[in-house]
Amino acid sequence: MRVTSPSAHPIRASGCVCSGRHKSECYPPCRPNGYAVAGNLYSREGIRYLVRNVLARPTLRTIVLCGRDMTGSGAALLALMEHGIDTDHRIIGDGTRLHTEIPADAIALFRHSVRLIDARDRIRPEAVAALLPTIEPIHEPFAPAPLIFPYTEPQATTLPAEQSGFVVRGRTIVAPTLT
């Protein structure tokens, strides 16, 4: 992830560039004040961390979604912005679950305060760099202070393994091999 200082570049520090692929597709070759944060959104599960980070930095008002959407994470982010979440904190129309520690009203604030620009058709870094100067920045933060919510590390109740077992008997170790 590449981060620039919002105080060093206050005019253009309201944007976030987000790509679904390799970092060379994500970090456009433009001036550092062309965006505040650039990072990758490899999976749908990354959306929950994207939402957390944007809520913690209310000066981020625009997300530019660019690059190949190989895992469907871009489509899931679009579904979140368009449809929101259900009572189980799942994205409506996609099913990806967001962290339950983030209140539904904070997710609604994110949806209504952050502009998402779908530029997934722009794969080359130069095309993304050409797009950034055309985006009108939003200078006012959407919240007076960072919104930070607790995070609970998931606890495994079972170890990852197949839910089956085999008893194999034989006179030698070679005799009972499974084929």
Q: pTM of the predicted model, to two decimals?
A: 0.77
> Which tokens is 87 given?
């009572």
* CB count in 10 Å sphere of residue 111: 16
24 has pLDDT over 70: no
pLDDT at 8: 45
The phi and psi torsions of 61 (rounded to 5 degrees) equal -115, -10
Residue 46 in this model has a pLDDT that exceeds 70 = yes
pLDDT digits (tens, 9 = 90+) for 82-137: 999 999 999 999 999 999 999 999 999 999 999 999 999 988 888 888 888 888 88
**For residue 71, pLDDT beyond 70:** yes
Q: What is the enclosing helix (H) or strand (E) of 24?
A: helix 23-26
Per-residue pLDDT, 48: 95
SS3 of 164, please?
coil
Give CA–CA dist 32/152, Å, rounded.
34
The average pLDDT across 4-28 equals 54
Topology classification of domain 2-134: Rossmann fold (3.40.50)
Q: What is the pLDDT of residue 35?
A: 77
**Does residue 51 contact residue 96 with C-beta atoms inside 8 Å?**
no
Q: According to the model, what pLDDT value does residue 2 have?
A: 47
Q: Where are the domains of the chain?
A: 2-134
